[in-house]
C-alpha cells in the first residue's frame, strides 16, 4: 500500500513529467534547423545557418535561386533541408528546381519580380501536411493591381498553395499533378505577413492572413482532409493602404499574435497590434495597440521571447521591449538599443526570427554580411543582451530570413480540443494501463477500450532510452506484461494495427 507522502510525491512527479519531460521528447524535431538567408548581387552564393550542433554554424551554398523579400524553407524531422522557395519557384536540397514547380504562384507580381525573388515580406510559408507522411503544404501570394476607394495599389487577390510530395523524383520531392496553385482564400489581402500556428489538438494547423483596407482576418484551418477558409473575424485596427514592410508572428506557445499593419492615419503614430489567440476555436480577442514613439521611422520587425512574456518590436533605428504579462503593456516599454551612426557595425533593424537555440536573430533593412542576435531574450531591458553583428555570414544577405513557425508546438493537454487519439499523449483516454503506480515485478494490464491488435509495446525511460520491448507473439490475450524495471517513471509506447498511444507508468 502507498502511504500519503508517496502519493504526493508521485502526483508531483507525474505533473513534472507531463509538462516538462514528455513535451521535450515529443518535440524533438528540427524542421527549422537550417536557414538559407538569401544573397545580394550574386545569386550563386547564399549564406546558410545550421543549428544541428545546437549553436548556429554559418556557411555558404551555391544556388541560382535569387532572394529579395520572400523566403521560406523546411527541414525534415532530423534537420535535413528538404526544399526552399523565393516565391517564384521551389528548389530541392540539391539546389535545383523541384519537380513540377514551373508556373507556381502566377500573378503580376511574380512576373514583375522574377527572377530576383518575390518582393513580399513573409510571402510564403511551409507546413507539414497533417496526417500525410512526406507531404507538405506550401502557401504563397503574388500581387495584382487593385483599386480601392479610387486608389490604385498592388495587393494579393488570393492565398494560394500547392502540395509537395517528398516521395516524388527519387526522394527529392515534387508537386503532384492537379495539386498546384490551389486556392485557400479568394479575396484582396495585405501583402504577406502569412503566419500560422498548430491547432490545440496538436495535429491540425491555423493559418492567418489579413484582408486589405479593413479590420478583417481570414483564418484557414488545415486538417488531414482539407484546407478550408474556416472563418473570418473583424477585430483590431483597419489596415490603411500598403506603404511599408512589416511583420507578423505568433508567440512560441501560440496564445498571442502580433501583426504590423500601418501607422495610425490621423496622428502618424506607430502601432503594432497584439491579440490573444484561442488555438481551439481560432478566435482572436483582447486587442491591444502597442505604441511605438516614433512618427518618422516605421515599425518593421517583431518577435516574442521563448517564454512568451517579452514582445520585441523594432523600427529601423530602435529596438523596443514590452511586457505582455502586464495589464498596462505600453507602460512597460523599454528601449533595448538605439541607432548609433558612429559605430563600426550599423545598428539598424529589419525582421526578427526566434531560432532553435532560443535566441532572436534580427536582419538589417539593407544588405549586409551579418545578423544581430538577442542572446537572452527572456531577460528584461538591456539584460536581453542584443549583440550587433554577432552572427557573421559567408555572403551578403538581402534583408530576409525564412518565414517560419513553431513546428514543435504540442497539443494542449486536457483542453476541449484534446481529441486526436493517434497523437502520442499520456492522456489519451482510449488507452489505460493499470495498476499505475505499480510495484516492480508485478503484472500490468493494458486495456485499449476498443478492438485493436497490439503489435508492439515498448517501455522507455525518462531519457528516451528503450528499456524493454514486447512483440505481438509475446503477449497473451489479456495484454499483460511483467514489469521488471527499477523504481522510476517510464513511458509505455503502444503500437497497434491502426494507432499509436503513449501512457506514463510509475514503478515504485
**Per the domain annotation, does 404 fall within a domain?**
no
Q: What is the CATH number of the domain that holds 433?
A: 2.60.40.3080
Q: What is the CATH number of the domain that holds 234?
A: 2.130.10
What is the pTM for the complete model shown? 0.78
| pLDDT tens by residue, 422-461 | 333 333 445 678 888 888 888 888 877 656 678 788 887 7
Same domain for 332 and 358, yes or no, is yes
Same domain for 362 and 442, yes or no, is no
**Backbone phi and psi for residue 337, each to the nearest 5 degrees, phi listed first:** -160, 145
Same domain for 17 and 47, yes or no, is no
- Find the range with the poorest average confidence among 128-132, 163-167, 240-244, 470-474: 240-244
Per-residue model confidence (pLDDT) at position 45: 82
**Per the domain annotation, does 226 fall within a domain?**
yes
**Per the domain annotation, does 188 fall within a domain?**
yes
pLDDT greater than 80 at residue 223 = yes
pLDDT bracket for residue 473 (50, 70, 90): confident
Higher pLDDT, 25 or 436: 436
pLDDT greater than 50 at residue 28 = no
**Backbone phi and psi for residue 286, each to the nearest 5 degrees, phi listed first:** 50, 55
Per-residue model confidence (pLDDT) at position 284: 94
Same domain for 309 and 438, yes or no, is no
How many independent structural domains does the chain possess? 2
Higher pLDDT, 264 or 462: 264
Per-residue model confidence (pLDDT) at position 244: 63
Task: Please state, in angstroms and rounded to a whole number, the distance separating the CA atoms of residues 321 and 273.
Answer: 14
Range of the domain at 100: 28-397
Same domain for 120 and 152, yes or no, is yes
Domain boundary among 397, 412, 446: 397
In the block, residue with C-alpha cell 492565398: 159
Same domain for 460 and 367, yes or no, is no
Instruction: Please provide the average confidence, as pLDDT, over all residues in the chain.
Output: 85
How far is CA 412 from its chain centroid? Answer: 16
| DSSP 3-state of 485 | coil
**Per the domain annotation, does 143 fall within a domain?**
yes
Q: Which residues have CB under 8 Å from 424's CB, separation 6+? A: 26, 493, 500, 501, 502
Mean pLDDT of 324-351: 88
Same domain for 295 and 242, yes or no, is yes
Measured CA to CA in angstroms, residue 357 lies from 83, 191, 417, 474 at distances of 22, 29, 29, 43
| pLDDT tens by residue, 140-160 | 999 999 887 777 889 999 999
Same domain for 165 and 253, yes or no, is yes
**Per the domain annotation, does 410 fall within a domain?**
no
Q: List the beta bridge partners of residue 217.
A: 210, 233
Higher pLDDT, 273 or 395: 273
Per-residue model confidence (pLDDT) at position 420: 65
Same domain for 151 and 129, yes or no, is yes
Same domain for 64 and 13, yes or no, is no
Same domain for 113 and 12, yes or no, is no
- Find the range with the poorest average confidence among 67-71, 89-93, 306-310, 504-508: 504-508
Same domain for 237 and 107, yes or no, is yes
pLDDT greater than 70 at residue 464 = no
**Per the domain annotation, does 403 fall within a domain?**
no
Triad 375, 381, 382: Cα angle to 5° = 60
Higher pLDDT, 477 or 435: 435
pLDDT bracket for residue 505 (50, 70, 90): confident
Mean pLDDT of 291-299: 86
Per-residue model confidence (pLDDT) at position 78: 87
Most confident of 146-150, 253-257, 363-367: 253-257
**Per the domain annotation, does 15 fall within a domain?**
yes
Most confident of 3-7, 265-269, 485-489, 501-505: 485-489
Mean pLDDT of 23-51: 74
**Per the domain annotation, does 408 fall within a domain?**
no
Amino acid at each position: 500500500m502507498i502511504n500519503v507522502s508517496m502519493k504526493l510525491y508521485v502526483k508531483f512527479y507525474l505533473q513534472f513529467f507531463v509538462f516538462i519531460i514528455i513535451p521535450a521528447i515529443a518535440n524533438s524535431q528540427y524542421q527549422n534547423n537550417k536557414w538559407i538567408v538569401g544573397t545580394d548581387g550574386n545569386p550563386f552564393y547564399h549564406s546558410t545557418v545550421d543549428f544541428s550542433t545546437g549553436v548556429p554554424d554559418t556557411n555558404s551554398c551555391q544556388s541560382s535561386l535569387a532572394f529579395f523579400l520572400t523566403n521560406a524553407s523546411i527541414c525534415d524531422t532530423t534537420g535535413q533541408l528538404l526544399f526552399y522557395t523565393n516565391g517564384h519557384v521551389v528548389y530541392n536540397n540539391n539546389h535545383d528546381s523541384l519537380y513540377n514547380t514551373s508556373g507556381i504562384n502566377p500573378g503580376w507580381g511574380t512576373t514583375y519580380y522574377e527572377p530576383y525573388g518575390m518582393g513580399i515580406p513573409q510571402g510564403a510559408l511551409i507546413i507539414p501536411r497533417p496526417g500525410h507522411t512526406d507531404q507538405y503544404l506550401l502557401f504563397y501570394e503574388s500581387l495584382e493591381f487593385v483599386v480601392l476607394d479610387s486608389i490604385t495599389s498592388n495587393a494579393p487577390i488570393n492565398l494560394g498553395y500547392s502540395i509537395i510530395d517528398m516521395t516524388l523524383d527519387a526522394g527529392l520531392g515534387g508537386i503532384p499533378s492537379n495539386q498546384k496553385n490551389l486556392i485557400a482564400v479568394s479575396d484582396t489581402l495585405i501583402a504577406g505577413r502569412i503566419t500560422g500556428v498548430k491547432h490545440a489538438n496538436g495535429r491540425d494547423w491555423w493559418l492567418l492572413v489579413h484582408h486589405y483596407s479593413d479590420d478583417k482576418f481570414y483564418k484557414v484551418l488545415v486538417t488531414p482532409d482539407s484546407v478550408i477558409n474556416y472563418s473570418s473575424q473583424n477585430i483590431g485596427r483597419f489596415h490603411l493602404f500598403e506603404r511599408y514592410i512589416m511583420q507578423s508572428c505568433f508567440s512560441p506557445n501560440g496564445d498571442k499574435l502580433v501583426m504590423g499593419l500601418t501607422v495610425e492615419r490621423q496622428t502618424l503614430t506607430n502601432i503594432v497590434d497584439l491579440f490573444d489567440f484561442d488555438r481551439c476555436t481560432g478566435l482572436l480577442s483582447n486587442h491591444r495597440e502597442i505604441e511605438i514613439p516614433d512618427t518618422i521611422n516605421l515599425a518593421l520587425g517583431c518577435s516574442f521571447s521563448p517564454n512568451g512574456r517579452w514582445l520585441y518590436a523594432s523600427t529601423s533605428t530602435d529596438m523596443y521591449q514590452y511586457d505582455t504579462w502586464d495589464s498596462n503593456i505600453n507602460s512597460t516599454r523599454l528601449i533595448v538599443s538605439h541607432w548609433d551612426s558612429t559605430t563600426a557595425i550599423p545598428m539598424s533593424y529589419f525582421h526578427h526570427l526566434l531560432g532553435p537555440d532560443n535566441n532572436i536573430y534580427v536582419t538589417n533593412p539593407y544588405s549586409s554580411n551579418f545578423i544581430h542576435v538577442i542572446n537572452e531574450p527572456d531577460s528584461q531591458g538591456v539584460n536581453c543582451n542584443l549583440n550587433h553583428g554577432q552572427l557573421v555570414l559567408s555572403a551578403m544577405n538581402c534583408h530576409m530570413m525564412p518565414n517560419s513557425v513553431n513546428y514543435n508546438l504540442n497539443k494542449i493537454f486536457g483542453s476541449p480540443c484534446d481529441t486526436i487519439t493517434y497523437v502520442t499523449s499520456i492522456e489519451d483516454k482510449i488507452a489505460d494501463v493499470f495498476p499505475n503506480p505499480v510495484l516492480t515485478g508485478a503484472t500490468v494490464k493494458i486495456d485499449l477500450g476498443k478492438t485493436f491488435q497490439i503489435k508492439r509495446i515498448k517501455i522507455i525511460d525518462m531519457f528516451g532510452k528503450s528499456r524493454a520491448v514486447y512483440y505481438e507473439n509475446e503477449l497473451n490475450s489479456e495484454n499483460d506484461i511483467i514489469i521488471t524495471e527499477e523504481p522510476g517513471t517510464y513511458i509505455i509506447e503502444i503500437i497497434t494495427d491502426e494507432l499509436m498511444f503513449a501512457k506514463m507508468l510509475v514503478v515504485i
